[in-house]
Amino acid sequence: MKQLHLSRRNLKRLFSSPSGQRYAKENGSSGGIKCDSELCPVQKPSWRCFSYEEIQKATKGFHQDNLVGRGGYAEVYRGELEGGQEVAVKRLTRAATEEQKEKEFLTELGTAGHVSHPNVIALFGCCIDQDLHLIFELSSRGSVSSNLHNENLPTMAWKLRYKIAVGTANGLHYLHKVCQRRIIHRDIKASNVLLSDDFEPQISDFGLARWLPSEWSHRAVAPIEGTFGYLAPEYFTHGIVDEKTDVFAFGVFLLEIISGRKPVDGSHKSLLSWAKPYLNEGEIESLVDQRLQNDYDINQLKRLTFIASLCIRASAACRPSMNEVLDLIGDGELSAEQWKMPDEEEEDFWGFDDLDDSDTPLLTSSSSSSSSMGSF
Ligand SMILES: Nc1ncnc2c1ncn2[C@@H]1O[C@H](COP(=O)(O)OP(=O)(O)O)[C@@H](O)[C@H]1O
Ligand SMILES: [Mg+2]
């Protein structure tokens, strides 16, 4: 089916018209409209439209000094609104086509504008003048990726890593199970989890997110987008998306924060293939980032590696839900017996380097390495 493409002028008209407001409402964003409390008992977050002058002024004309991050689709600038509120202005820059850019924009607006949780980034609004912009709360410490992998920053302490694992699990649980509609993020990774001043993780970047109607078990999407190294096998090979797609990526994310290794690096050995023998043999201490110099909590390590080993199972049905992850991350029993694979299913892992190059689908630009300007 042909995608609806709105010219920039029509996009503007849409946002200023009653039908545009209806669009925002139907897509889960209140857009500043007051909800009738009987029709809409849940307090929805509200966002507003910003003028270009406002964001231009806030970012000092998108000055390079204010550039705090760059992903596959966007550049993000720090800004300060009149009154002192700090914001992050995401300017969509790099989609293949104008249609794709608008699709990403509307997807992110409709999803991020609908959610409200301490471990999910808060949307303040948008601006469609000159370019497409989304305005978020500023995560003052940048992404988990930049904090974990930037050699110029101090090694991230175990306590922080554990806090990030727990907070991200809470955020993902909220998206899957608590907010009004099931949201599949589709791009959970260390550069899309940001850190507040007190290192509270905040899931961000909803450009690829999908709603999942409650009566559907999954949906098939094309093209396959996301980030190599975090993609679940059923999604990578058949485009099948459901909560377990995110659970798989969360497992990779856990291994990344435990080990301090990137999911794929220049060595052609994926994090999963590297970690697999250690998980199989129960040599979990070999997984820990050596920069920690053995300064970690062994019980927490046992919990996180147990959860990671379940989340990265090749069979989606044998992965835990985020409810179960939260239980295990709390004080749930780590019972290998309870989580034993059914006899007909072989305990199996998925390693990206098992694939030939010819098997590699074309990924969107979000699969290119996203860079960050570091913490600020
Ligand atoms: N709210 C924010 N606060 C601080 N930095 C941010 C914020 N949003 C994004 N960034 C930085 O910008 C980078 C790219 O943003 P992202 O939304 O992931 O864009 P893309 O859709 O292009 O991947 C992030 O990895 C992060 O470093
Ligand atoms: Mg991103």
Distance (Å) from CA 366 to ligand 1 centroid:
12
What is residue 9's predicted lDDT score, i.e. its pLDDT? 57
What does the pLDDT read at residue 38? 41
What torsion, rounded to 10 degrees, do the Cα atoms 335, 337, 343, 349 define?
30
CA atoms within 13 A on the CB side of 354: 11
226 lines ligand 1 (CB under 6 A): no
Report cis status (omega within 30 of 0) of the bond before 223.
Answer: yes
Do β-strands 86-92 and 74-80 pair in parallel, antiparallel, or remain unpaired?
antiparallel
* Å from CA of 225 to ligand 1 middle: 17
Query: Using the 8-state DSSP alphabet, how is residue 194 labeled?
Result: E
Which residue lies with its CA nearest to atom 1 of ligand 1? Answer: 138
pTM (predicted TM-score): 0.85
| 149 lies in the same domain as 132 | no
- Nearest residue to 15 via CA among 103, 135, 136, 126: 126
Identify the CA nearest to 72 among candidates 252, 192, 154: 192
83 and 44 in a common domain: yes
Instruction: Identify the band that residue 246 occupies on the pLDDT scale cut at 50, 70 and 90.
Output: very high
pLDDT (average), residues 252-277: 92
Tokens (6 digits) for 102? 């608008």
CATH number at residue 180: 1.10.510.10
CA 231 to chain centre: 12
Q: How confident is the model at residue 367 (pLDDT cuts 50, 70, 90)?
A: very low
Query: Are 193 and 148 within one domain?
Result: yes
Selection from 84, 343, 27 nearest residue 210 by Cα: 27
36 is known as an active-site residue: no
The answer to whether residue 301 sits within a structural domain is yes
- Does residue 171 form part of some domain? yes
- Whether 74 lines ligand 1, by a CB cut-off of 6 Å, is yes
Binding residues: 90
Residue at 355 is within a domain: no
d(C-alpha 199, C-alpha 298), whole Å: 22
| Boundary (domain end) residue, out of 137, 154, 186 | 137
Domain identity same for 130 and 232: no
Residue 359 in any domain: the answer is: no
* Residue 66 Cβ contacting ligand 1 at under 6 Å: no
Separation of 216 CA from ligand 1 center, angstroms? 31
- Confidence band of 197 (pLDDT split at 50, 70, 90): very high
Q: Give residue 362's pLDDT.
A: 36
On whether residue 109 sits in a domain, the answer given is yes
- Are 210 and 62 within one domain? no
Same domain, 109 and 73: yes
Distance CA 76, CA 88 (A): 6
Residue nearest atom 11 in ligand 1 by C-alpha distance: 69
Confidence of residue 24 (pLDDT cuts 50, 70, 90): very low
Residue 266 has pLDDT above 80, yes or no: no
Across the range 312-323, mean pLDDT stands at 96
Residue 335 has pLDDT above 60, yes or no: yes
- Residues annotated within a binding site for ATP: 90
Short-list 317, 275, 283, 316, CA closest to 302 = 283
Tell me if residue 143 falls in helix, strand or coil. strand
The distance between the two most distant Cα atoms of the chain, rounded to a whole number of Å, is 63
Mean pLDDT of all residues in 215-224: 82
pLDDT higher at 346 or 253? 253
> Which of 243, 280, 234, 276 shows the shortest CA–CA distance to 259?
276
| Cα–Cα distance measured from residue 205 to residue 227, given in angstroms and rounded to the nearest whole number | 13
Query: Which atom of ligand 1 sits closest to the CA of residue 121?
Result: 1
Q: Which residues are paired to 211 by β-bridges?
A: 183
- Ligand 2 centre and the CA of 280: distance in Å? 31
Find the CATH number of the domain harbouring 91: 3.30.200.20
Residue 367 near ligand 1, beta carbon < 6 Å? no
pLDDT for 223 equals 81
| Average pLDDT estimate for 137-166 | 96
The residue-averaged pLDDT of 49-72 equals 96
Range of the domain at 273: 144-345
Q: Which two tokens stand for residue 354?
A: 């098992």
Lowest model confidence (mean pLDDT) among 42-56, 198-212, 267-281 = 42-56
Residues with CB under 5 A from ligand 2 (ion): 71, 192, 205
Domain boundary among 104, 137, 170: 137
Lowest mean pLDDT among 122-126, 211-215, 322-326: 211-215
φ, ψ of residue 48 to 5 degrees: the values are -135, 165
Quote the number of domains for the chain.
2
With respect to residue 278, please indicate whether it lies within any of the assigned structural domains: yes
The answer to whether the CB of 192 falls within 8 A of the CB of 69 is: no
User: Residue 112 pLDDT > 50, yes or no?
Assistant: yes
In a domain, residue 49? The reply is: yes
The rounded distance, in Å, linking the Cα atoms of 205 and 104 is: 10
Are 127 and 213 within one domain?
no
Q: Is 203 a pocket residue for ligand 1 (Cβ < 6 Å)?
A: no
CA distance 18 to 14: 8
Alpha helices (H) in 113-157, listed in sequence order: 144-149
Question: Which of the ligands is closest to the CA of residue 372?
Answer: 1
Q: Of 101, 119, 137, which marks where a domain is finished?
A: 137
- Distance set, CA 270 to CA 130, 134, 228, 265, 368 (Å): 41, 33, 10, 7, 16
200, 79: one domain: no
* pLDDT for residue 218: 83
Tokens representing 68 are: 């705090």
- Same structural domain for residues 120 and 193? no
- Which one from 36, 187, 295, 331 is the annotated catalytic residue? 187
Cα atoms found within 13 Å of the Cα of residue 193, Cβ hemisphere only: 29
Q: Is pLDDT at 40 greater than 50 in this prediction?
A: no
Mean pLDDT, the chain, as a whole number? Answer: 84
Mean pLDDT of 179-191: 95
How many other C-beta atoms are found inside a 10 Å radius of the C-beta of residue 223? 9
In this predicted structure, what is the pLDDT of residue 25? 43
CA-to-CA distance for 92 and 354, rounded, in angstroms? 34
Mutate to test the pocket of ligand 1, among 370, 373, 375, 376 (most ligand atoms within 8 A of CB): 370
Instruction: Mark whether 327 and 240 lie in a shared domain.
Output: yes
pLDDT at 6: 54
